[in-house]
Amino acid sequence: MLNENRFFPVEATTRAIAQRLFHEIEALPLICPHGHTDPSWFSGNAPFADPAQLLIVPDHYIVRMMVSQGIPHSAMGVPTLDGAAFEMDSRKIWRLFAENYTLFRSTPVRHWMDYTLENQFGIEAPLRPEIADAAYDQISEKLNQEAYRPRALYEAFNIEVLATTDSCLDDLAHHKSIAESSWSGRVVPTYRPDAVTNPDISGFVENIERFGEITGENTATWDGLLRAHQKRRQDFIKAGATATDHGHPSATTCDLTQQACRDLYAEILAQTATEDQKEMFRGQMLTEMARLSVEDGLVMQIHPGSDRNHSPHVFKRYGSDKGFDIPKRVNFVEALKPLLNILGHEKNLSIILFTLDESTYARELAPLAAAYPCLKLGPAWWFSDSPDGMMRYRNLTTETAGYYNTVGFNDDTRAFPSIPARHDMARRVDCAFLATQVAEHRLLEDEAVEVAIDLAYRLAKRTYGYEDLA
């Protein structure tokens, strides 16, 4: 299925350069600083259940496309929250996926899945109904082998470090179990405080109370809330965390007086806050998280601009992360100004900005990152995590921000076996971009080799604080 020249330029001279560049980076270890894999996989090291539960049910990229064609979530085995029936026969789910595999032609999902099926499971023909059962059986047989358990796959994928994304309310038990085991793999948490920084999240007040119980602080007060974050971040740091992650509706930041913060927080807890006040609270919390990052050194990732759970019907029946998060416009220049006015030149602050609004790449994000020392550009994210999306990202940011105001690649996946496929795509696209730069005499080839290594490996390792790794 896989052509050795996939994602490379068509023109022969440029393609040859891309091939040479890729040869230099193909075998580099994988740095995985942001994603959504489950730490329990690595603490328990139990076999994965079956092909559908591993590759289809948790992958909202797949679910979204099939739902768009009128196939209900329940038919793909997505559990319901209201007690309604959902498909539990994994073989039937897999057959349904195979019947609809044509939906994914020319999408990144198709590339990732073909790579995974061929390189991880030895399936060398495109998935289709006629081979669905044989493919299911072949994958199932392999999943029962020791070589396909989570820790073995981590090692086979040549992963050097993998960060999970964990709620600030998480007890980190799985991370502690991994650290106490004899296994040498490095799986670290990431501090995600959205549960207690976004008043629109279900159960927010209860989350605040739980946060206080965990930290021993009075989170009914503004000052107690900040102390609770300070303590909890230290718990994460002790468990290996080097970064935080913030999934906000916008990039709004604020700079309120302490009294204004206390008054605003009282409104938030009383659940009498207006929509504008909720946005102000989220914005102030981003500023406070940045202040704490100056103190403790955690790298700050901001993932704004997703209209989460766009369909109330889907959210009510199936919950979040089910394919109905839709990109929206973000104004970074005005939104970040309050935070940057206070902390933009702090040497100990590192903020990585992501966007789903590609119109901001050249107009806002690249100029901001090329000016403020605390800012870096995250890689093409989510809907832009595709061959053309990555190429647009490089074309729109490089002339202003260069390469060294970016941070390498994030695989950002829930489907663990797809990690090598995602890195392979990113490395190939970057080599294609660099090959064009060389062919047009904008960059020397030896420089392009160095940049390719940086983009594939060194930048992520340095930015996220993994330089202590061998």
In angstroms, how far is the first alpha carbon of the chain from the final one? Answer: 35
Largest CA distance in the chain: 67
Q: How many CB atoms lie within 10 A of CB 296?
A: 15
Statement to judge: residues 154 and 103 lie in one domain: no
Q: Read off the pLDDT of residues 379-436 as tens digits, 9 standing for 90 and up.
A: 999 999 999 999 999 999 999 999 999 999 999 988 999 999 999 999 999 999 999 9
Residue 339's pLDDT is: 99
* Residues 17, 123 within the same domain: no
Both tokens of 252, joined, read 């709004």
Q: Where does the pLDDT of residue 468 fall: very low under 50, low under 70, confident under 90, or very high at 90 and above?
A: confident
Sign of CA dihedral 245, 325, 57, 410: negative
- pLDDT tens-digit profile of 11-29? 999 999 999 999 999 999 9
- Cβ neighbors of 202 (< 8 A, separation 6 or more) are none
Mean confidence (pLDDT) of the chain? 97
Residue 6 lies in a domain: no
- Do residues 248 and 304 touch, judged by C-beta distance below 8 A? yes
Which domain-ending residue is among 113, 148, 183?
148
Ramachandran region, residue 273 (left: φ > 0; alpha: ψ -120 to 50; beta: rest): beta
Domain range for residue 252? 12-46+150-463
CA distance 232 to 210: 12
Q: Is residue 470, in this structure, part of any structural domain at all?
A: no
SS3 string, 290-352, reads: HHHHHHHCCEEEECCCEECCCCHHHHHHHCCCCCCCEECCCCHHHHCHHHHHHHCCCCCCCEE
Examine the domain organization and report whether 34 and 57 are in the same domain: no
Q: Which residues pair with 192 in a beta bridge?
A: 167
**Residues 6 or more apart in contact with residue 190 via CB below 8 angstroms:** 34, 163, 164, 165, 166, 236, 241, 243, 244, 245, 301
Is the pLDDT confidence value at 264 over 50?
A: yes
Give the pLDDT of residue 145. Answer: 98
Question: Quick check: is 7 in a domain?
Answer: no
Pair 241, 308 in one domain: yes
Q: Are residues 364 and 403 in the same domain?
A: yes
- Kindly state whether residues 250 and 274 are assigned to the same domain: yes
For residue range 110-122, list pLDDT tens digits in order. 999 999 999 999 9
| Count of Cβ atoms closer than 10 Å to residue 106 Cβ | 10
Which class for 260: exposed (0-12), middle (13-18), buried (19 or more C-beta within 10 A)?
A: middle
- DSSP class of 82: S
- Judged by DSSP in three states, 258 sits in helix
Q: Are residues 39 and 76 in the same domain?
A: no
Instruction: Specify whether 198 is located in the same domain as 255.
Output: yes
What letter represents residue 142's amino acid? K
Domain identity same for 383 and 438: yes
Structure tokens at 122: 């030895």
Distance between CA atoms of 37 and 34, rounded to whole angstroms? 9
**Average pLDDT of span 262-271:** 98
| pLDDT of res. 469 | 59
Both 56 and 186 in a single domain?
Answer: no
In this prediction, residues 227-238 reach a mean pLDDT of: 99
Which residue from 87, 41, 98, 95 is spatially nearest to 318, judged by alpha carbons? 87
Is the Cα dihedral 76, 163, 114, 133 positive or negative? negative
pLDDT > 60? residue 470: no
Last residue of a domain, one of 91, 124, 148: 148
Helices (H) and strands (E) in the chain, counts: 24, 11
**Cα–Cα distance measured from residue 332 to residue 285, given in angstroms and rounded to the nearest whole number:** 16
Q: What is the number of structural domains in the chain?
A: 2
For residue 468, is it within any domain?
Answer: no
**Out of 316-320, 339-343, 367-371, least confident range:** 316-320
149-164 per-position pLDDT tens digit = 999 999 999 999 999 9
Q: What is the CATH number of the domain that holds 142?
A: 1.10.2020.10
Among 94, 121, 148, the domain boundary falls at: 148
Number of C-beta neighbours around residue 398 at 10 A: 19
- Quick one: average pLDDT of 258-265? 98
